[in-house]
């Protein structure tokens, strides 16, 4: 099931509340409430922007780590050469001299 974050552009839809339209004219007392609500929305958006920036930095750092690991594996030649035994999907250990240690489990 898709959530609100999965649908592109859904978060940018402005409702009647966010556009500032009213069915009745404004009075002075509602201006204070509007200022309060705008300040709270501003705080929420600043917090969300900080979280997005932090997440973006973490993603870029992880992408860099992945790139470095891939380059080091390509340089060492472990992707195409030097494999012993069956591949990882085969079920046998990759080194020919070692066997799996087994033991029985009693219930």
* More confident position, 33 or 17: 33
Whole-model pTM: value is 0.46
In the chain, pLDDT over 90 holds for what percent of residues?
Answer: 36
Residues 53-83 pLDDT 10s: 999 999 999 999 999 999 999 998 754 555 5
Locate all alpha helices (DSSP H) within 1-107, ordered by sequence.
Answer: 16-19, 28-76
Helix (H) / strand (E) containing 88:
none
Q: What is the pLDDT of residue 51?
A: 96
Name the pLDDT band for 95 (thresholds 50, 70, 90). Answer: low
Q: Are 55 and 62 in contact (CB under 8 A)?
A: no
Decide: 11 and 5 in contact? Cβ < 8 Å. Answer: yes
Q: Is residue 36 predicted with pLDDT exceeding 80?
A: yes
- Whether the CB-CB separation of 86 and 92 falls below 8 Å is answered with yes
Give tens-digit pLDDT for 85-94.
444 555 555 5
Q: Give CA–CA dist 100/85, Å, rounded.
A: 14
């Amino acid at each position: 099931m898709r959530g609100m974050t999965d649908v592109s552009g859904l978060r940018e839809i402005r409702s009647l509340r966010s556009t500032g339209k009213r069915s009745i004219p404004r009075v002075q007392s509602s201006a204070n409430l509007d200022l309060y609500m705008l300040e709270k929305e501003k705080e929420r958006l600043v917090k969300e922007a900080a979280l997005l920036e932090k997440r973006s930095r973490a993603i870029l750092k992880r992408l860099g780590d992945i790139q470095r690991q891939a380059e080091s594996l390509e340089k060492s030649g472990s992707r195409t050469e030097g494999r012993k035994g069956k591949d990882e999907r085969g079920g046998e250990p990759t080194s020919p001299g070692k066997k799996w240690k087994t033991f029985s489990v009693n219930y």
